[in-house]
Chain A
């Protein structure tokens, strides 16, 4: 009951510098780790492939390049798919949609999740309870079920997929943000801003947010990894924007029946999705290690 805040504290400068690290220096530290560099190369490579791929595609993704499931030839480098369309061209076209939707869904989830988390951590009253129990309700549903229910009722609209996937990441981000922000809220510079009468929204944005950027950056790459997987998974289940539009997830489903006869239609998108998620995962791991200071002092890791 007696909240005692006046115990003498002997300053220990060494122990204090480690706790407060600016996000810029965290990113620099992360870039010194090999895992981050490899991850970044993978992510950049696949983003380039998905973004610029269509310009290098030899065929239109819906053109017929030969009989269905035909083997690689000079006309179709990686053979044809179940409708006789060029696998390479469809592969080069098929990353865009996944990547754009994953980035949008993640951005949606992170921004909204961070706002909910900061609000909950700062309010310390009934609002905290209401927000976090709401998050628990969303968390109770398996991610893919929640997305499926939404899409099955309205139909596979791109905005709906983004919204549904973003909504499933939101509670996870909110939890991490709240957890990271709670010790910050208790610190005196927040009380100092309150005593000055700084508006609440500015306390959230300018006092709290900059102090939780490191965990939030880790969360961005982690959520991006899951969003890519989820959106590709939805496409595999048939919930892509259009069934004949090129999409890595759709491709795997369409060509899996003949995976033994003509594996390329499945192998190429699988490798691409795998490398992309490994890349984002490695970047996230690198940032979280740098933020925790695990590998500091070592040039490689």
Chain B
């Protein structure tokens, strides 16, 4: 990290004027993207879905996905323009000069080959090393570099015998195998636990620094990027809107979009309300002539709409695409909303889980769970994947049959399956699913979807119409949405529909299972904001399941930490997050990437 300050200041990667279009349509997916990366430096490329960040990442390898083509610009790696070469000339460069680490390590490794064979293959393909003995030595060295065992027994394993984090490290080893000049990492830690993620991120940083490899880290996760990258480029609607040092960008952003994005990230320090960014990013083909953020910007003026603002230098190494950047920067950073009033829950519990255990086909995954949910309280349930938190949520919702112990809702003991529960208990307890792309029937209109609970609970006629209209309005969807189908909606809008469906029957207990994990940060903030508001105004008791620790601060009053099927710590949010008593919670907190590290 520090040694390249002394190195000659010559960037090894120069991207200039990159423009990528949807084939044949002339619509730009990406336009006017220029940046440089120095050897040994990790550059973060941040953007929300559809911003074109992955497209840019692939363009650095000279590759364009099906349906898009690179029409202009250059990508120079040590003065060789990758885009000017033919496909045949480019092929030997890949892996040797520029390599790629994809999002899903399991999909990138060949399941039929031993990992040792696959690593050797990379070296052989690029004639790395003179003899096979030298190559084997290099494989062992690579394994040590990524902190994996280098003994032949381990190399004889197949990818499926490795954990997700180990697979991703093998992917990293392959990418660094031939000592390339540039590595493109496309969200390589999405889907990994925070602990595993922290290890992988450290490996990336160490290797890039030690071997003076330039790295482009493509991610939607600002918190991850802030801990890893020295410089960050922010993309919005296919263009770079801000480029600068990571600490500068997060503490002192000059583009209104970056500022809102930073404000949308949940933080560990202090309970704050999150503020989402209203509206949605324009898609290729419908992008305005002027600034693409114009319709969502609080600082907008007429000049913004006339023509696209240029990406201009604000300070040394801080570029921004905004006409009013100086004024914008004069305002204090919109670090989320007001501090939340944290009230202590009181009253008799509405939902109580007593000595519950649950399993799959005889294997117990939940052990002796005890939970109480007070009226109008939000209890967060935090844990890594496999900790059993989803099983717990599904058991309460009546979707998991293999369990023992008691679940009591308003004094009524609930049987295993929802189908056998009383209509009243089904109405009072509602569930929102993790993935809004899967939880809405694609063949039914939004109106039919939101109306479904009312049909089940025997509410019809004008009463039902009024409730559906009211609920859609409460989740900020206009009446025009009622006749649409889910595939015409964005992820955030779909999750709003799911919320409307859950609340239309006026429940008093709501279970949210990772409801924001499939969404972008700005959308996540808006959804959490909405849920918090609804929880207060409708007096809901809420069980908020998440793997995102900082998010807990912005919504919950109490938090339960789960590990390996047990609740290891349960208490008020402040006391658990600031003074954790359990070792597991401490480790989880230490590994969670957050912006505070950069800002302090």
Residues of chain A touching chain B, judged by Cβ–Cβ distance below 8 Å, are 1-13, 16-17, 20, 22, 187-189, 191-198, 200, 206-207, 210-211
Contact = CB atoms under 8 A, between A and B. Distances in A.
Interface of B: 49-50, 103, 187, 190-191, 220, 360-361, 363, 365, 385-386, 389-391, 394, 397-399, 417-419, 421, 423, 426, 430-431, 433-435, 437-444, 452-453, 456, 485-487, 490-491, 501, 513-514, 517-520, 545, 547
Contacts of A188: 433-435, 438-439
The DSSP consensus for interface residues of chain B is loop
A5 B390 contact: yes
Given A189-B441, A195-B426, A196-B418, 18 more contacts: A3-B360, A6-B513, A8-B517, A9-B437, A9-B518, A11-B518, A20-B442, A22-B442, A189-B438, A189-B439, A191-B394, A191-B399, A192-B431, A196-B452, A196-B453, A197-B419, A210-B443, A211-B443
A189 B363 CA distance: 27
Contacts of B452: 193, 196, 198
6 contacts: A2-B386, A6-B434, A9-B517, A11-B491, A196-B453, A200-B419
A170 to B, nearest CB: 25
Contact of B389 (A6, A8, A194, A196): A6
Contacts of B487: 16-17, 20
Contacts of B517: 6, 8-9
B390 to A, nearest CB: 5
6 tightest Cβ-Cβ pairs between the two chains A and B: A210-B443, A20-B442, A188-B439, A188-B438, A188-B433, A189-B441
B399 A4 contact: no
Contacts of A189: 438-441
Contacts of B434: 5-6, 9, 188
Most buried by A among B361, B456, B501: B456
B365 A2 contact: yes
A11 B441 contact: no
Given A13-B50, A13-B490, A195-B418, A207 B441 contact: yes
A7 B385 contact: yes
A203 to B, nearest CB: 10
A6 B433 CA distance: 10
A211 B220 CA distance: 32
A188 B497 CA distance: 14
Contacts of B418: 194-197
B49 A6 contact: no
Nearest to A189: B441
B456 A11 contact: no
Contacts of A193: 452
A7 B165 CA distance: 13
A206 B451 CA distance: 13
A23 to B, nearest CB: 8
Nearest to B448: A206
B523 to A, nearest CB: 9
A182 to B, nearest CB: 15
A141 B114 CA distance: 45
Nearest to B437: A16
A130 B360 CA distance: 23
B547 A195 contact: no
Given A2-B365, A4-B385, A8-B517, A210 B50 contact: no
A9 B441 contact: no
A197 B49 contact: no
Contacts of A4: 385-386, 390
Contact of B397 (A3, A195, A210): A195
Contact of B419 (A16, A194, A206, A210): A194
A7 B435 CA distance: 10
